Amino acid sequence: QAIVDSDEENTMVSKSVTGKPARIIRTKWAQAYVDAKMDPLPMPFQSMVSGQILTSGQLAKRADIAPGFAGQGIGLIKKVRPAQEIFDDLVEGCKRAIASAPREI
């Protein structure tokens, strides 16, 4: 739900999760690294530090702690759709494309 509720302004590039730069949804966890002016540990050590905390945040459904990885296109996502619905839309679109394609292809 955090992805649907966010836009590109709610993301940041941070090393706070893995030690490598990644675009994530802005959270208290990631902001704490920015505010503290602390460099995260290099990979894989940062994951060892952050892993249990972020997993606990996810299990507790604490979106303010557990970031979601999200690209710059995050603002284009408006709702969560079931995989079957997406797949059915793809199949229908493919059928329409094939039906309208020239016979020589």
On whether residue 92 sits in a domain, the answer given is: no
Q: Would you give the distance in Å from CA 67 to the centre of its chain?
A: 8
What pTM was computed for the model?
A: 0.66
Q: Which residues pair with 12 in a beta bridge?
A: 24
CA 29-3-57 angle, 5° bins: 35
Angstrom distance (rounded) from CA 45 to CA 42: 6
Angstrom distance (rounded) from CA 89 to CA 24: 28
On whether residue 34 sits in a domain, the answer given is: yes
- The tens place of each residue's pLDDT in the chain, 105 residues long, gives 777 777 777 888 988 888 999 998 888 888 888 898 888 899 999 999 888 888 888 899 887 877 788 888 888 788 889 999 999 999 999 999 999 988 776
On whether residue 102 sits in a domain, the answer given is: no
Tell me the residue range of the domain where 23 lies. Answer: 2-77
- How many structural domains compose the chain? 1
On whether residue 28 sits in a domain, the answer given is: yes
